[in-house]
Each structure stands twice: as structure tokens, then as C-alpha cells.
Amino acid sequence: MKFSYYLEKITGVEIYPLISLILFVVFFLGVTYMAFSASKESVDYMGNLPLDKKD
Amino acid sequence: MQLERFQYDNKIPRLFAIATVFWGAVGMLLGVVIAFQLVFPALNFDLSFLTYGRVRPVHTNAVIFAFVGNGIFTAIYYAIPRLLKASMWSSLLSKIHFWGWQLIIVLAAVTLLFGYTTGKEYAELEWPIDILITLIWVIFGINMFGTIFTRRERHLYVALWFFIASWVTVAMLHIVNSFEMPVNLLKSYSWYAGVQDALVQWWYGHNAVAFFLTTPYLGLMYYFLPKAADRPVYSYRLSIVHFWSLIFIYIWAGPHHLLYTALPDWAQSLGTVFSIMLILPSWGGMLNGLFTLRGAWDKVREDPVLKFFVVAVTCYGMSTFEGPMLSLKNVNAISHYSDWTVAHVHIGALGWNGFLTFGMMYWLIPKMYNTQLFSKKLASMHFWIGTLGIILYAIPMYWSAFRAYFMMKAFTPEGQLQYQFIDIVQTVVPFYFLRALGGTIFLVGVFVMIYNLIKTAKQGQFIEAETAEAAPLPKAFTVPKSYMWHGVIERKPILLLTLSLVMVAIGGIVELIPTFLVKSNVPTISAVKPYTPLELQGRDIYIREGCYNCHSQMIRPFRYEVVRYGDYSKSGEFVYDHPFQWGSKRTGPDLARVGGKYPDSWHFNHMLDPASVSPGTNMPRYPWLFDNVLDVSTTGSKIHAMRKMGVPYAESLESTGNEILQKQAEGIAENLKKDKIEIAADREIIALIAYLQKLGKDTRTSASK
């Protein structure tokens, strides 16, 4: 029995990898946009949180 | 705003730090022991609780859950209060967490050594301990979120996101993978069978690597690396992208542990694609860590802490490059079941987890004892010893993997296999010896560290708690215009938790649900019959002795495997396997179709003294199987549990099971008598022989018809 047998047996299986890829790309672009649209001052503030420096 | 005074507790982080170092030494020592056992089988001492199959799970569990686990908690209990400007929410819960976790470790070590195991790698603990883990994990979560809710710093630093996501994902993985049907207090069967069990197990196994060994340690990196270098992380923006893409992608990659197996092809492909994508966030994180030290490399030369961190992060980069490569099917064909995988995980465990932990200890202990490190020179020495240990561990393993591969697939011009499996074993044993030396050297480094840390503690004064001051959070908060809208998530821990769970759940659902729907589609092979009562008992002995640590039961569709082991495995063959026993490493040959290959007497002699029938083998002896009387009191409840999970046993087999069992056992004893072997039919070895002779037999007899 070929492996592709199972593949054919799940209705619309080809949609799974497609959905996952699209989900990820959209999500990734969103996060990247979000990260790089942040202001320098808020990013600097966050980055310095573990350090004991007084702001 | 009135400033509030509060304390950062050091006692719990110190306890966890001691536990980390202690269990680290124990876990690594066990690793060295089993490494030498593979070279000198006599080191198994013919004692059940010292055999490789039982000690190896203790080694893996100790390193993952005791060494790295306590390392995570050290970092969390130290970093969280300081990042949130608040004391831990409840010092009682902290204590329960600490002692509960150590209790789990001790229970785990004892039960595993005495053969109580579920037979699922890295999730071997039996159900009462699984429940205890869940309880302690929840207590830890309550304490962590309690602290987050009473914080005085509105923003959650990126290290905290990693801790939160790790907490929620590990909870999800542990619960889903631990569905078991208890037979009695210390025995249970996996709820899932065969292909499904394999997929759930490796979805768990892979993500245990991801969310126990990686993401919490990234949190650790994002906190302690800037601390030690005294400068903020290279790019905080990159860390945001790193976090979200990593947790999103990681959860999908599990099936890459099952390439070329009977797992449906689409799931294999999904695993491969996401594994390749995983390079990007992983390397983003690695570069973020390394670039943090830009322009500070002079410090790295001086400071042992930074040296450890640099190599740790580099090893993270190497592992996360190698991982996706191993997910390519053609590379996986070589690496799967081989020592390559062992080398790969040890680059991660020794380099990434080990060195990051050591760096943290060298930074943390002097800090908590208000002193300087006792000897920088010894720490640098540890650094070089450790690095040498890793190299000497990894290189022989890579070498042996390739050597074994080329021997495994060599055919004579007449079309026959050129080498027997035992030839390959004998060629790789010297490499195992070198590996054991590498491990020993690494362990020596750990003892140098322990000495250095104790000396450091002795010369300093332990600070039980540090007092700090901060204003409470104002109730009303208006977001400054300049803040990014991601700030909304950063200020709302529950939203962060929920989003993380959604991220990881999507991957899990897409992967697992179709596989459960496949259940009705796994082509049933009518010849495949449930295990007889005796075979079922024998299978449980196989699981108890941890045979799966060295033997697979999954033949891949390659010529050199099919010729060596028999026809490649089909998913329909495993429908009654609770749990599946595909294995992940072939130190010995595959057993999927060993049934009927040898006479009963061969198995008898082989288990009594493997070298007598297979000279040069590194398999241990199992003399106790010939003395122990098979416990048949469990037969009924085992059959009952199996029936409840859908195994179609005949009506009332629960009551007649032992009669049938006895008859089959006597048959085998008769058979042995023909070969001049006298043994009582009630011994455990009889059941084990029954099980081994069943493997793959159903499908072979049907094919020959």
C-alpha cells in the first residue's frame, strides 16, 4: 500500500499545508511590522529592563 | 507616588541552583556509565536495575527534567522578581514547587530503575507521577502568574514571554501525551495506539526539546547574557520576531522524527517544511545573542561567564542548523536510528543547556554570596575541559554514524548484504569508547565547577534577600503615543498567555486531528491479530526492560532495510500497540519481523547470554528473566484495559485469559525441551519469547498463503 493512499483518503488534505503556510506568512509579516514600527524609545526602555540602570 | 519596599528572595534560587548542579552531576555520571556499558557489557553487572535499558531513561530524564528543569527554575525564581519589581507571589508555593519537583525526580529515578515505565521516550514516568507533575506544574504557574499580577513594572520583558509560553506549552504537551489507561497503581497503557501513539509521542518529544530545553533557556539567555555583559540585548525588535515565530513554527515540526515510517506522508512533509523554516527564527535568536557582545569581545577574553555564553549560543546555532538538515528526508535516511542523532542532541544538551547553565552559575553564585568568583582560572579551565569534552563526544558519534550507514547499505556484487549487523556493532564499539571518554572529560569539568562554586560560597556571605524599592503600578494607565501597539500584549500577561496557547495549539490541532481521523483509514490488515494473553505479558516485559532503547520495530522502505529485516512496516500492523514501540535508535537490529526468524531456543540462549549466540555483541545479559515467575495476576486487568481502548478481545477473555496463557507457555516450554532446554513454563522468559516470536508473524503468514 502506498503512503499516498492515506493522503487521498482525507478529504481536502492538500489544504492543510497550504493553510499552515499562509497562516505563518501572514503572522510573520504582522509580527515583523509590529516590531519594526515600534518607537526607538519604547524599544530602548524594554531592552534595558534587566539592567539595573536608572532611567 | 509612594515608593514600596519589598524583597528579592535568594533562598529559593539558591536551592534550585544547588539542585541543578547536583542532578546535573548525577545525570551526566549516569550518561558516562551507560556509555561505557555499550563498550563493556559486563558493566551491566547482570543486575536488572543496572542494565542499559533501565538506566538510559534515568539518564535522559535526569538531564532533561532534573538538570535543565532545575536550571530553568533557578533562572525563573531569580529573574522574575527582579524583572517585575515584586517578590514572588507566595514563598510557600515556591517551597512546595522546589520540594515537589525534587520528590518527582527521586520517584522517577526509583520507578524507572525498577522497571515501571510507560515505554514512551522522555515520557516514561507512570501515571501517578504524571499526575504529581501536573500538580506541581500548576503550583508553579499560580506562583508565576501571581507574581506577574502583583508586579510594579508594567512591561513584561521578552525573557518573561519565553517563560510564560514554555509554561503553557509544556502543560499542554504533558497532558495530551500522558493519556493513559491505568491497569494498576504502577502500570498503564498509552491511550493511543500505533501510528497515532507515535505521532502524539513525537509531537510531544520534539516539543519537549523545544519548550523545555530551548524556549526557557532562551529566556535565560535574554536575561543573563545582557546582565553578564552589562549591556542591553542587541536588538529588542529582533527578539519580538524571534519569540513569536519560534513558538509558532516549533510546534509543527514533530513529525520529522518519523520520516520514512508508516506515518502518513502528508504529516511527514508538514514536519519537514516547518523544520526548514525553523532555521530563520533560531538563527535570528542566535545572532541576537552573539551581537549583544559586539564591541565587547575583549570582555569575552577575560570573563569565563561570557566565554560559556558564547559557546552555548554558538552550539544553539549549530544544533538549530543541524536539526532542519536532519529533517530533510535524504539526510534523515542516514541519521535516523543512528549515532548522528545522539551527537546532535548532545551538542544541544552539553553545549547549549550545559554551558548556558554553567555560565549562569558562575555569574549567579558570586552575586548571591556577595563576593567574587573563587578562581577565574579554574573556570577558564572548566571552559576548555568542557569544550574538549563536547568535541570528543560528538566527532566519534558522527564518524560512527556514517561508518555504520555505509556498512549497512553495502551489497556484494551478487546482491547480498555485505555485512551482518554484528559486524557493524563491532566496528562502532571503539567509537563508543571514545565517546565515553568525551563524556567523562565533560563530567570532570563539572566537578571542577562544583569545587569552584563551593569555594566561592565559602569565601562569601550569603544574602538571603535583597531589599528594593519601586512605586506600585497606577490603576489608570494611558498608553504613551510613542509606544508600539505590541505594548498592549506586553502589558497583558493573560492575553500573552492566551495568544501563545493559540499559536502552539494551531500547530498541534492541524497535525493531530487528521491523524485521528485517519484511524478509520488505516487499512486494516485482517491477518493482524491482537496479542494473546502470554504475548501481552511478554510485551510488558519488553517494555519494562527498555528494549526500545536499542531496538526499533519499524522497517523503512529501503532496499538495505527490507533485505536485512523483512518487508517494510505498514501502519495497519500497529493498531493493537498500546504503546507503540517503534524506537528511535538502533544499537541492535530492528525487531519488527523477528518473529519466527529464530527457534525459541535461540531466544532463550540469547537472553541468557547474548554473546553465546552472537559473539562480540554489546547486549547485556538478562538472567533474572529465568528466575522470575511471571505475574499472571494482572492478566485479567490488562485484557480489560486493552478492551476498553478498543482491542477486540473475545468475550470473557478476562476470566479465561490465564488458562490460554498457561497453555501457550507450556507449548513453548515443550518446544524448548526438544532442544534439550529445561525450564518451568511459568518463567518470565517464556512470555518474552512468546512476544518476540509474534513480531511480524501475522503478516508474514498471510503473505505466504
Q: What is the pLDDT of residues B111-122, one digit of tens each?
A: 999 999 999 999
B79 CA to chain A: closest CA distance, Å?
8
Q: Do B79 and A50 touch (CB under 8 A)?
A: yes
Flag whether pLDDT at B490 surpasses 80: no
B510 neighbourhood in chain A, CB within 8 Å: 16, 19-20
B629 at interface of A, judged by CB pairs closer than 8 A: no
Flag whether pLDDT at A18 surpasses 90: no
Flag whether pLDDT at A5 surpasses 60: no
Q: Using omega within 30 degrees of 0 as the cis cutoff, is the peptide bond preceding B610 cis?
A: no
B266 neighbourhood in chain A, CB within 8 Å: 6-7, 10, 13, 16-17
Taking a contact as any Cβ pair under 8 Å apart, which residues of chain B between 204 and 233 contact chain A? 222-223, 226-227, 230-233
The predicted structure's pLDDT at residue A13: 62
Q: Do A32 and B241 touch (CB under 8 A)?
A: yes
**Comparison of pLDDT for B703 and B446, the residue scoring more:** B446
Q: Which residues have a Cβ under 8 Å from the Cβ of A4 and sit 6 or more positions away?
A: B265
Q: Which residues have a Cβ under 8 Å from the Cβ of B257 and sit 6 or more positions away?
A: B202, B205, B206, B271, B584
- Element (H or E) spanning B237, and its range? helix B236-250
Beta-bridge partner residues of B5:
B469
Which chain B residue has the Cα nearest residue A31? B241
Mean pLDDT for chain B overall: 92
Helix (H, G, I), strand (E, B) or coil at B220: helix
Q: Do A17 and B490 touch (CB under 8 A)?
A: no
Q: Which of B436, B409, B407 is nearest to B422 (CA)?
A: B407
Q: Quick one: average pLDDT of B22-45? A: 97
Q: Do A38 and B241 touch (CB under 8 A)?
A: no
CA distance B269 to B264: 9
User: Best mutation site among B83, B265, B567 for testing chain A: the one with the most A CBs within 10 Å?
Assistant: B265
Q: Quick one: average pLDDT of B421-443? A: 97
A39 neighbourhood in chain B, CB within 8 Å: 482-484
Give the other-Cβ count within 10 Å of B134's Cβ: 14
* Cα→Cα distances B262→B191, B196, B202, B268, B565, Å: 19, 10, 14, 10, 15
CA distance B133 to B524: 37
Torsion of CA B171, B172, B176, B177, to 10 degrees: -60
Q: Do A47 and B155 touch (CB under 8 A)?
A: no
Sorting pLDDT into bands at 50, 70 and 90, what band is A26?
A: confident
Q: What type of residue sits at position B598? A: Y
Cβ-based interface (< 8 Å): residues of A facing B: 1, 3-7, 9-10, 13, 16-17, 19-21, 23-24, 27-28, 31-32, 34-39, 41-51
Beta-bridge partner residues of B7:
B467
Which chain A residue has the Cα nearest residue B483? A42
What are B653's three cell numbers? 477473555
User: Which of B236, B269, B523 shows the shortest C-beta gap to A17?
Assistant: B269
B473 DSSP 8-state letter: P
* Cα→Cα distances A6→B365, B518, B598, B646, Å: 56, 7, 34, 21
The predicted structure's pLDDT at residue B504: 82
Q: With pLDDT > 90 as the criterion, what percentage of chain B qualifies?
A: 78
Q: Which of B20, B173, B29, B27 is nearest to B101 (CA)?
A: B20
Q: Which of B214, B336, B210, B215 is nearest to B268 (CA)?
A: B336
Flag whether pLDDT at B252 surpasses 90: no
Helices marked H in A1-55:
4-9, 15-36, 40-47
B83 at interface of A, judged by CB pairs closer than 8 A: yes
Taking a contact as any Cβ pair under 8 Å apart, which residues of chain B between 266 and 285 contact chain A? 266, 269-270, 273-274, 277
Helices marked H in B409-463:
421-459
Sorting pLDDT into bands at 50, 70 and 90, what band is B482?
A: low
Q: Which residues have a Cβ under 8 Å from the Cβ of B375 and sit 6 or more positions away?
A: B452, B455
Q: Do B264 and A6 touch (CB under 8 A)?
A: yes
Q: Which residues have a Cβ under 8 Å from the Cβ of B583 and sit 6 or more positions away?
A: B337, B548, B549, B550, B551, B552, B553, B554
B376 at interface of A, judged by CB pairs closer than 8 A: no
Q: Which residues have a Cβ under 8 Å from the Cβ of B99 and sit 6 or more positions away?
A: none
CA distance B640 to B649: 9
Q: Which position has the grid cell 540585548? A: B233
Q: Which position has the grid cell 570532570? A: B444
Asked whether the beta carbons of B469 and B82 are under 8 A apart, the reply is: no
B455 DSSP 8-state letter: H
Which chain B residue has the Cα nearest residue A6? B264
pLDDT tens for B123-144 read 999 999 999 999 999 999 999 9
CA distance B445 to B522: 51
B198 at interface of A, judged by CB pairs closer than 8 A: no
CA distance B608 to B209: 37
Span between the terminal Cα atoms of chain A, in Å: 67
Give the other-Cβ count within 10 Å of B79's Cβ: 22
Complex-level ipTM: 0.77
The predicted structure's pLDDT at residue A4: 46
Q: What type of residue sits at position B356? A: L
The pTM score is 0.93
B291 at interface of A, judged by CB pairs closer than 8 A: no
Q: Do A44 and B232 touch (CB under 8 A)?
A: yes
Q: Do A47 and B233 touch (CB under 8 A)?
A: yes
CA distance B163 to B160: 5
Sorting pLDDT into bands at 50, 70 and 90, what band is A2?
A: very low
Angle between helices B127-149 and B493-518 (to 10 degrees): 150
Sorting pLDDT into bands at 50, 70 and 90, what band is B494?
A: confident
Q: With pLDDT > 70 as the criterion, what percentage of chain B qualifies?
A: 96
The predicted structure's pLDDT at residue A55: 43
Q: Exposed e or buried b for every residue in A14-47, given b needs 16+ CB within 10 A? A: eebbeebeeebeebbeebbebbeebeeebbebbb
User: Best mutation site among B248, B491, B503, B525 for testing chain A: the one with the most A CBs within 10 Å?
Assistant: B248
The predicted structure's pLDDT at residue B448: 98
Asked whether the beta carbons of B404 and B432 are under 8 A apart, the reply is: no
The predicted structure's pLDDT at residue B705: 37
Beta-bridge partner residues of B8:
B466
Asked whether the beta carbons of B598 and B683 are under 8 A apart, the reply is: no
Give the other-Cβ count within 10 Å of B125's Cβ: 24
Beta-bridge partner residues of B182:
B188
Q: Do A7 and B264 touch (CB under 8 A)?
A: yes
Sorting pLDDT into bands at 50, 70 and 90, what band is B257?
A: confident
Q: Quick one: average pLDDT of A27-38? A: 84
- Element (H or E) spanning B61, and its range? helix B52-61
Q: What type of residue sits at position B566? A: G
Spell out the SS3 assignment of B311-327: HHHHHHHHHHHHHHHHC
User: Best mutation site among B251, B363, B484 for testing chain A: the one with the most A CBs within 10 Å?
Assistant: B484
Q: Quick one: average pLDDT of B449-463? A: 97
User: Best mutation site among B152, B230, B239, B266 for testing chain A: the one with the most A CBs within 10 Å?
Assistant: B266
What are B633's three cell numbers? 495476576
Q: Which residues have a Cβ under 8 Å from the Cβ of B95 and sit 6 or more positions away?
A: B12
> A with B: how many residue pairs have Cβ under 8 Å apart?
121
Flag whether pLDDT at B279 surpasses 60: yes
pLDDT tens for B625-679 read 999 999 999 999 999 999 999 899 998 999 999 999 999 999 999 999 999 999 9
Asked whether the beta carbons of B347 and B303 are under 8 A apart, the reply is: no
**Comparison of pLDDT for B641 and A52, the residue scoring more:** B641
The predicted structure's pLDDT at residue B703: 47
CA distance B456 to B370: 10
A9 CA to chain B: closest CA distance, Å?
7
User: Which of B157, B248, B514 shows the shortest C-beta gap to A16?
Assistant: B514
pLDDT tens for B196-245 read 899 889 989 988 888 999 999 999 999 999 999 999 999 999 999 999 88
In this structure, is the dihedral angle defined by the CA atoms of residues B428, B430, B433 and B439, taken in order, positive or negative? negative
pLDDT tens for B666-696 read 999 999 999 999 999 999 999 999 999 999 9
Helix (H, G, I), strand (E, B) or coil at B469: strand
| Rounded CA Rg of chain B | 26
* Cα→Cα distances B319→B351, B352, B418, B572, B703, Å: 9, 9, 34, 35, 43
Sorting pLDDT into bands at 50, 70 and 90, what band is B262?
A: confident
Q: Which of B242, B170, B168 is nearest to B205 (CA)?
A: B170
User: Which of B83, B483, B522 shows the shortest C-beta gap to A39?
Assistant: B483
| Rounded CA Rg of chain A | 22
Look at B79-93, B336-350, B495-509, B691-705 and tell me which has the smallest mean pLDDT: B691-705
B483 neighbourhood in chain A, CB within 8 Å: 38-39, 42
A36 neighbourhood in chain B, CB within 8 Å: 237
Sorting pLDDT into bands at 50, 70 and 90, what band is B480?
A: low
B136 CA to chain A: closest CA distance, Å?
28
A20 neighbourhood in chain B, CB within 8 Å: 252, 270, 274, 506-507, 510
Q: Quick one: average pLDDT of B329-346? A: 94
pLDDT tens for B573-632 read 999 999 999 999 999 999 999 999 999 999 999 999 999 999 999 999 999 999 999 999
The secondary structure of B373-421 as a DSSP string is: -S-HHHHHHHHHHHHHHHHHHHHHHHHHHHHHHHHHT-B-TTSSBSS-H
